[in-house]
Every structure is written in C-alpha cells, then in structure tokens.
Amino acid sequence: MLELYHFEPAANSMKPLLALSEKGVDFVSRQLNLEGRRWEQYSDWFLKINPDGQVPVLVHDGKVITESTVINEYIEDVFPTVPLRPADPYWRARMRIWTKFVDEYLCPALTVIGANFATPFAQKIDKAEMNEILSRIPLDGPRKKWATVSSTGYSEEDVADARRKLKVTVERAEASLAEHEWLAAPTFSLADVNAYSMISGTERVLPDALNAEVSPRVHDWLRRMEERPGVKKAMSYPGRMRPPPPQAA
C-alpha cells in the first residue's frame, strides 16, 4: 500500500502529489489539518509516523520516507515507467542542482513570506494555547517560525530579503528557460515538479516579482505547467491556497 500524508496542494506537500499524479500512480491520500486549531502535524499519532512533525510523508508498505525531495527521488526509483529524471547524467545533475536550490535557497524565503501572511491568524491564538503548541514542535525552524508570527511577526527587513530571494530565483529560472524548454533540461523533470510546487502560488501573492513583462519565459512555463494533466490532478486535492477559478466574462 502507498499512503501519502500531506497538506493542501502547495509547497512541499505539492511535490509528491504532483510526482505521483504525473506518473499516474494510485495512492491513499491522508490530508492533515495543519492549522485551524488542530495542528495534526504535532499530534501524538502523527509524531509516531514522522518525529519531525512535518508533511509530506510517504508510507510504502509500512516503510516511512520523509523529506519531499527525497520522497520524489524514491517515487522515481520505485515507479520509473513515466521517467521524471533525465537519462543523461549532465541533465540529471542540472535537475538536482535545481531541486537543491529550491530546497536550500527558495524554500526558506517562501517560508518567511507564507508565515508572514499567517501572522494575523497566529496572533489571535491564545498565549497559553500557543505555548502548548510550541512545546510540541520538534524542529527549531518551525518552532521559531510559529514563535515569531504569533508574537512580533517577521521584520520588514526579513520580508524584503525573502522577496529579493524570490526575485533572484525568478531571474535564474528565466535564464535557464532561455536554454531549454523545461527548467533544468530539454525534458520535463523533477526540477519542474519541485520548483512549480514552490513558485506557482507566488504569482498571485507577489505579482510584481513574477509576471509576463519581467519574466516572460517563467510566465509561459507556469501556463504550460497548468495545462499538464498531472498538475490538474494534483490541484484537485482540497486546499484554500489554490488560485480562485477564472471569473466568467
């Protein structure tokens, strides 16, 4: 049995949802409620599955795999029929340079931007309740994030620096897409899967950083991604962060 514990189709949770959907692999979806006073990622039952208290988590015949980028490489190894890794070692290396960049450079910046939007919600949570939640968060990063947004919020400098990093990412993607049709290589790969999962929502929330004028190739790549049946299927999982449907004329 293949089970995926995930949040809505956005960011790290979107990565394996998208890889599995692209490959047409069936799985049991176990969607957690991360906020809304349930904080299921820090509940005793879930911490037994992933002691880091984070989704996504893939459970394959009882074997637990964590970390979205590792999960996607595992999915590729176990279900290779629709390949999402280039065959050529050079393009495969380029794919991994992109997935590493997304994880180490872009993801922390998007965490600040996303958490900043959660500040009004987090500041309404009762102090004692928040302290209880903080005491259950195993990793320093998420604990500091929730401690920050529930008290002072991120500083203007932190948010500006995160936006600068998003701009650097878009410029890098624009240059890469001038070389070949897909983000890291001439063929569609896990680089597209992982980068799209992180970037797609930013077009809506930070339109000045990503639009048809400043980044036409990235803009076009996003539209091509949206047309893929795998993306449509991944986006069909419930989520409030999904873009609103187009308005009727």
Ligand X SMILES: N[C@@H](CCC(=O)N[C@@H](CS)C(=O)NCC(=O)O)C(=O)O
For residues 54 and 176, which CB has a smaller minimum distance to ligand X in the complex? Answer: 54
Q: What is the Rg, in whole angstroms, of the alpha carbon atoms belonging to the chain?
A: 18
Q: Which of 41, 148, 194, 215 binds ligand X (CB under 6 A)?
A: 41
Contact 58, 16 (CB under 8 A): yes
* Part in contact with ligand X (CB under 6 A); list of ranges 51-59, 84-92, 182-190, 192-200: 51-59
Residues constituting the chain? 249
The DSSP code sequence of 180-243 is SSSSSSSS--HHHHHHHHHHTTHHHH-TTTS-TTT-HHHHHHHHHHHHSHHHHHHHTS--TTSP
Using rule CB under 6 A, residue 34 touches ligand X:
yes
Using rule CB under 6 A, residue 54 touches ligand X:
yes
Using rule CB under 6 A, residue 150 touches ligand X:
no
For residues 13 and 215, which CB has a smaller minimum distance to ligand X in the complex? Answer: 13
Q: Which of 5, 12, 21, 113 binds ligand X (CB under 6 A)?
A: 12
Q: Which of 4, 5, 9, 11 binds ligand X (CB under 6 A)?
A: 11
CB within 8 Å of 225: residues ≥ 6 apart: 192, 196, 200, 231
Rounded least distance, CB 54 to ligand X, Å: 4
Helix (H) or strand (E) holding 178: helix 156-179
Residue count at the site for ligand X (CB under 6 A)?
13
Using rule CB under 6 A, residue 7 touches ligand X:
yes
Site for ligand X, residues 55 to 114, rule: CB under 6 A: 55-56, 67-69
The DSSP code sequence of 153-167 is ---HHHHHHHHHHHH
Burial of residue 138 (number of CB atoms within 10 Å: 0-12, 13-18, 19+): middle
Using rule CB under 6 A, residue 202 touches ligand X:
no
Site for ligand X, residues 124 to 143, rule: CB under 6 A: 142
Footprint of ligand X (CB under 6 A): 7, 11-13, 34, 41, 54-56, 67-69, 142
